[in-house]
Amino acid sequence: MNAFASDPSDFILFHRLRNARVGLDRAATLGEGLAAAQWSRDQRVGSGLIDYDMPGHHTLSLYLRGGETCFRLGHRDLRGGAGKFCVLPDRHRSRWSMNEDVRFLHLYIAPRRLAREAVMRLDREPRELELRDRTYIRDPFLEQACRALLAADWGVPAGRLAASGAAEAVLHHLLARDTGRSGEAAGSGGLAPAVRRRVRDYIDAHLDEALTLDELAGVAALSTYHFARMFRVSFGEPPHAWVLGRRLAHARALLARSRDDLAGVASRCGFGNASHLSRAFLRATGLTPGRYRAAARGRGVTL
CB 161 within 8 A of CB 239: yes
CB 84 within 8 A of CB 62: yes
User: Residue 94: exposed, middle, or buried by beta-carbon count in 10 A (0-12, 13-18, 19+)?
Assistant: middle
- Sign for the CA dihedral angle at 86, 90, 92, 95 comes to positive
At residue 114, the pLDDT reads 87
User: Stretch 67-71: mean pLDDT, rounded?
Assistant: 90
At residue 272, the pLDDT reads 85
Q: How far apart are the first and last CA of the chain?
A: 49
**Calpha distance 172→183 (Å, rounded):** 8
pLDDT band at 303 (very low <50, low <70, confident <90, very high): very low
∠ CA 148-233-129, nearest 5°, is 60
User: Stretch 264-271: mean pLDDT, rounded?
Assistant: 95
The answer to whether residues 288 and 208 belong to one domain is no
At residue 178, the pLDDT reads 61
In a domain, 47, yes or no: yes
User: Stretch 141-150: mean pLDDT, rounded?
Assistant: 95
The answer to whether residues 206 and 255 belong to one domain is no
CB 144 within 8 A of CB 107: no
At residue 47, the pLDDT reads 67
Tell whether the model's pLDDT for residue 72 goes beyond 70.
yes
Tell whether the model's pLDDT for residue 243 goes beyond 90.
yes
Q: How many CA atoms lie within 13 A of 191 on its CB side?
A: 28
CB 133 within 8 A of CB 92: yes
On whether the pTM is more than 0.85, the answer is: no
The answer to whether residues 75 and 110 belong to one domain is yes
In a domain, 43, yes or no: yes
In a domain, 171, yes or no: no
The answer to whether residues 122 and 36 belong to one domain is yes
202 three-class SS: helix
Tell whether the model's pLDDT for residue 197 goes beyond 60.
yes
Tell whether the model's pLDDT for residue 127 goes beyond 60.
yes
CB 181 within 8 A of CB 122: yes
At residue 267, the pLDDT reads 94
Expressed as residue numbers, the domain containing 78 is 8-152
At residue 141, the pLDDT reads 94
The answer to whether residues 146 and 71 belong to one domain is yes
At residue 278, the pLDDT reads 95
Our count of domains for the chain comes to: 3
pLDDT band at 128 (very low <50, low <70, confident <90, very high): low
At residue 98, the pLDDT reads 84
Q: What is the mean pLDDT of the chain?
A: 88
**Calpha distance 271→251 (Å, rounded):** 10
At residue 126, the pLDDT reads 63
